[in-house]
Amino acid sequence: MDKKIKLIFSYIEKLFPNPETELNYSTPFQLVVAVMLSAQATDIQVNKVTAKLFKQIKVSDDLLTMGLPIFEKQISSINYYHTKAKHIFETAKIIHNLECRMQNEKKKKYKNGIPDTLEELMKLPWVGIKTAKVVAHILYDKLYIAVDTHIHRVSNRLGLVKTTTPEKTSELLEKRIPDSYKHLAHHALVLFGRYYCTAKNPKCEGCKLKSICLFYKKNHV
């Protein structure tokens, strides 16, 4: 295995053992809603809103019963709530219809009626490649690495990739990182970027990756 990758992940794993998403959810449908709400919003903001919302909404049916106007009001503290409410509500309708049409075997495979392929997930309104990869990875253990701003920054700083867009970073990380590290990679790199290798004032002095970090070398010569 690539020594650099081993060094990076064994260090990050020590800093953040058993990393997981910081979005709160207890059902697959709630995960989809939380991930869709998290676009251009922090996990803290989303968790604040979903603390109350998820007591009422467990599956797509619950959201349809609640109705769009009440749902929109409940998420109104989140960025782009109007657009998000509309798209999440449409998504709930599609998922509900999919679930109704599914035979028993498929129902067992598809959690809360949520598809397990990127192609199917991306047919849902406003679900882009990143959201689809997060959902497929968390719900169905698919070996994707969804890349947000934190992973994109950290991966470039450490020289895991040399890219200008998160999409390209995701593509290259999925090729470079061995399958055995892929589950760890997404959540561990997000947390490392969020709390350690931050955009401003990263904790470089205490960081054990200094010796291989391109960003550190560039700024400390």
Question: Does 151 help bind ligand SF4 (rule: CB under 6 A)?
Answer: no
User: How far, in Å, CA of 151 to CA of 32, rounded?
Assistant: 20
Dump the DSSP string for 180-220. HHHHHHHHHHHHHHHHTS-SSS---TT-TTGGG-HHHHHH-
Is-contact 190 148, C-beta < 8 A? Answer: yes
User: How far, in Å, CA of 59 to CA of 33, rounded?
Assistant: 10
Question: Does 209 help bind ligand SF4 (rule: CB under 6 A)?
Answer: yes
- Residue 84 or 150: the one with the smaller Cβ distance to ligand SF4 is 150
- Of 6, 82, 109, 203, the one binding ligand SF4 (CB under 6 A) is 203
Is 175 among the catalytic positions? Answer: no
Question: Does 145 help bind ligand SF4 (rule: CB under 6 A)?
Answer: no
- Token pair recorded at residue 122: 């991306």
Site for ligand SF4 (CB under 6 A): how many residues? 13
Q: Pattern of binders to ligand SF4 over 180-199, x per CB under 6 A?
A: ----------------xx--
Which of 123, 130, 142, 168 is the catalytic position?
Answer: 130
SS3 for 39? coil
**Minimum distance from residue 159 beta carbon to ligand SF4 (Å):** 10
Give catalytic residue positions: 130, 148
